[in-house]
Structure 1
Amino acid sequence: MLTQFAWAATRTKKTYLRSKYESLVGRRGKKRALVAIGHKILVAAYFILKDKTAYKELGGDYLDNRKKDRQIQMHLDKLKELGVKLNKEMVA
């Protein structure tokens, strides 16, 4: 039943679960990616019930934004290691 929920979640457009599924399919395959999405749904449902909070949709571009932020920070850290002094304009 959980895989059916995962399958339905991967068919919705511009959602976090669909973008996560698409990122996993290339590495794991369709069936394993569906099981992973089912696991994400189960964990989310647990914390929603435990904390009595509403589900917050992160959006389809959430993973892309996090990836860009991590890459920017990594390059800034490398520049600092090389001794480059960064201005406020460069960091912002």
Structure 2
Amino acid sequence: MAKKYQRILVCLDSMHTHDHVLAELNAYGSLVSTGSYCVVFDTIIEDMPENMFPDRPWGPGNNPKTAVWEYLKTHPEFEMDRDIQHKLLITVAPDGYLKKIA
């Protein structure tokens, strides 16, 4: 379906565990067109108190942000665009705006 479009933006916002988000990044990252973004939501979980998620499988150390950090180690075609989060001032996706540069 994505092949018929010139510009593709991917938003990830499902299960928030590290392994699940990393699998999503690996599955969908290649769909993002150069110059566009993969936005990973709820990376803020890493920065919140551990007791915020007592009944969830995710929390600090196991969340979308940790998956983003790991993914970027082996995918130089993406870079974090922190300018977006600084313009927004408040976001649930700090470090989650990944711009495809190559």
TM-score grouping bracket, smaller chain normalisation:
under 0.3
> Going by fraction, where is helix more abundant, 1 or 2?
1
TM-score, with structure 2 as normaliser = 0.26
Greater radius of gyration (CA): 1
TM-score, with structure 1 as normaliser = 0.27
